[in-house]
Structure 1
Amino acid sequence: MKLFTTVAWLLSFWCWHIQAEQLLSLQQQQVFAAERAFAKSMADRDLKAFEQHLSDEAIFFGEAVLKGKTAVVEGWKAFYQGKDAPFSWEPTQVEVLEDGTLALSSGPVKDPSGKVIATFSSVWRQEQPGVWKVVFDKGCALCHCDKKT
């Protein structure tokens, strides 16, 4: 009987673990999709679509720290003017907390010719089931460590 109980417990734990991994995978897929749609707003020159991905409490780091959705939109408005996007980005990695509330996405930032010029990191918060919004965003210029000092 003890062996049966142990096997049953192990099987139920294994099933729970598989379900947890599948849920995490679904959340990672949601964040990948949200980040890609966020990046598409730049390619499409659609500031309204950009704004829809921002949490009301968003903080973006750059030359100045932009705090709140309104400030971020105002600060990024210039990037959305003109026919061609000044840069693009795409996620290459997404990690989600086990409780499914926060995620980190990161990847390259490219100039119009496709040359990688920086990397980005964005923190996403699940504000409603399946709805992820950016709360923190920061780009970092590439390190040119091969330069002699």
Structure 2
Amino acid sequence: MSRQFLRRATLSVHCRFNPIGDHRNSKGGECSKSGSLLFHITRRDLDIRHIVIKDVKVSHPNFKVSLEQLIMITFPQDSTIAHESSVRFRIRGPLSKIRVLDHHFVLIKGYMTAKSAERITFRLRVPVEPSPEETQALINRDLQDYDPIDGLAGI
């Protein structure tokens, strides 16, 4: 099923946590209890009109995604890139580290519709990537903590 999807489109999933605000967990560290999974889809075949997502599950046991309705992702005419769409998640239980979704994936079930009225079902397992904004924030924080004198000590 997923091979037909991958021949016709590509999909990546980015994770974005909601701003933390004044919330703190019991250990005194920062913790966000919700966020969004962002879907970036590019079609390889211009025959594909829509991609419909029916179910989303995160492999991490503390992440809960509940779809209240189907997600329909449309492509502008003659464009290969779809409008970005997202689904919210909630975190139940403590999280031990910032990059908690490293080595985890999202299971996505749905179907594609083609101009020929064909309906192609799919089931994909996609790795979760941090959002570009969060990746840049981690880089900036690492650069602030970097001491050039200590960096030269190993030379």
Same fold at TM > 0.5:
no
Report the structure number with the largest CA radius of gyration.
1
Higher relative contact order (Cα pairs below 8 Å, separated by 6+ residues): 2
